Amino acid sequence: MNSKQRVAAAIARREVDRVPLGFYCADHDTIARVIGRKTLVRNKIDTQIALWQGRRAEVAEACKTDTVEFYRKLDCVDIILPKECPVLPPADYEPVGAEMLSEEEVRTGDGRVHKLSRESNTIVCVHDPRAAGRSFTAEQFDDAPPAPRPDESCFEAVDHLIAAFGEERYVPCIVPTTALVLLGEQENGLMMYALQPEVVHAAARRRVADQDRWDHVRVRPGSAGVMFDHDMAGTTGPLISPAMFDEMVLPYFRARAGHVKRFGDQLILHNCGNNLPLMGRFADAGVDCYQSLQTTAGMDVGLLKARYGDRMAFWGGMPLATLIAGTPDDVRRDVRAALARGAPGGGFIFGPSHSVAFNTRYDNFMAMLDEFVKRRDKVG
């Protein structure tokens, strides 16, 4: 089997020659160590500022060149998500502009102020003048014009990744889905589920129509499968009750899953948090593989396989907390434990519980790869 065949078989819960490996993504500090130079790839602050300033070509080139080099050097990785090669602004976009207010703050041309944290590789909007007094009505969604066709230049980096790896490794396309619709910020969006359900339904209907309209463009030629990337839970459980989920989320999520699987027969769902009450619903809707087994939220691969392993595959198992704060010996222990719980019976892809996140210790990252390669064909 090559990597592409191996992952496809694992997702279909068929026999594989060895356990496949994949990351949700890797952040720029790890990528830089592997390729031997600094990079804009998954450098959330510098990349966003570059795009605001109109340096799209620089971002696109980094995404293409550095990502391909990273995964060429890590030839043990079987599935590559285009998180390092995201959908970009159109080549002829008009940059909004950015002014550095301090080392920790930037103001964009639309008046928004953003807080920068180099220590966590994050950039957060802390002031948005457009949000003041903003309200939503069902009519504004029902009467909205259909979404325009995405510009082909937006997929420059994704297409480059597929061209480089699509024959040998499993490279799915990430497409939008409609699930938990949060209008405005999260707190306001969740309140609307209780106070303005008709607006939430209208927004969800509009999103499904717009997303269905361009699936044939967003699922790029040569890709393998599709992925939804949508969080719906915290560490203690889903953000809304299962009953509300059934009424106000599941019909739209199911519709999107059915439509997108016309263009890719295997559907992966990335969804952080404790989603145990919703797992059966995801399987019923058509999810073939669930990614982000957040161990700190109770999403243990052994438990999930025991309950749902006859209906979907699982991807993860390596606690991110260990990669960041543990020792190489701790990492090796957790690799062995994940393989022991996830590999028997198939339907398992090994990887970090979320991503190779910023501040992952490099010696821990290398220990994970080394221990995995030693054991990937000995468990199952």
Residue with token string 């979404």: 147
Q: Which residues pair with 252 in a beta bridge?
A: none
Structure tokens at 364: 């821990």
Mean local confidence (pLDDT), 224-236: 95
Separation between Cα atoms, residue 238 and residue 245, nearest integer Å: 9
Phi-psi region of 264 (alpha: psi -120 to 50; beta: other; left: phi over 0): beta
Task: Say yes or no to pLDDT of 128 above 70.
Answer: yes
Separation between Cα atoms, residue 86 and residue 64, nearest integer Å: 10
- For the chain, list the strands marked E by DSSP: 22-23, 79-80, 98-100, 105-108, 113-117, 122-127, 173-174, 226-229, 267-270, 289-291, 313-318, 348-352
Residue with token string 């198992």: 317
List pLDDT tens digits, range 37-69.
Answer: 999 999 999 999 999 999 999 999 999 999 999
DSSP state of 168: T
Q: What per-residue confidence (pLDDT) applies to 50?
A: 97
Q: Which residues pair with 124 in a beta bridge?
A: 115
Q: What per-residue confidence (pLDDT) applies to 380?
A: 53
Task: Say yes or no to pLDDT of 132 above 80.
Answer: no
Between 3.20.20.210, 3.20.20.70, 3.40.50.11030, 3.40.50.720, what CATH number should domain 3-93+136-375 receive? 3.20.20.210
Q: Which of 77, 86, 51, 223 is nearest to 158 (CA)?
A: 86
| Helical (H) or strand (E) element with 189 | helix 186-195
Mean local confidence (pLDDT), 205-215: 98
Q: Which of 261, 311, 255, 307 is nearest to 284 (CA)?
A: 311
Q: Tell me the domain boundaries of the chain.
A: 3-93+136-375
Q: What per-residue confidence (pLDDT) applies to 358?
A: 96
pTM assigned to the model:
0.96
